[in-house]
Amino acid sequence: KAGVTQTPRYLIKTRGQQVTLSCSPISGHRSVSWYQQTPGQGLQFLFEYFSETQRNKGNFPGRFSGRQFSNSRSEMNVSTLELGDSALYLCASTKLTGRDQPQHFGDGTRLSIL
């Protein structure tokens, strides 16, 4: 069974540019969440999507946005990139049926801002 797939694995951008990251969840998983991981702040929740709707949002500026498609694949977009956006961006998927389903993470996209 394929795991959570994130593309691209690495990305280098310059300040002011925008970027789109992609996440394909495990087959049958309808919830997709995004997290940012940095050495200083650790892992922080960005947002969650299911049924193509944002369900929950973390404390990040409006430059961070996302969407989910009908096949549960998700993208996140960061506009007007800043140096502080350099991070590992992780996507997690979960089943929506049954109690207490674990979240399964992809290997992330490493974003570097020059």
Site for other proteins in 48-87 (CB under 8 A): 48, 55-56, 58
By the rule CB under 8 A, 24 interacts with other proteins: no
Closest to other proteins by CB, 48 vs 85, is 48
> How many residues in the shown chain lie near other proteins by CB under 8 A?
26
Which span (14-22, 37-45, 64-72, 74-82) binds other proteins, by CB under 8 A? 37-45
CB of 83 to other proteins, least distance (A): 21
Rg of the chain's alpha carbons, rounded to an integer?
14
E strands, the chain, in order: 5-7, 10-13, 19-24, 31-38, 42-50, 53-57, 64-68, 74-78, 87-94, 104-105, 109-113
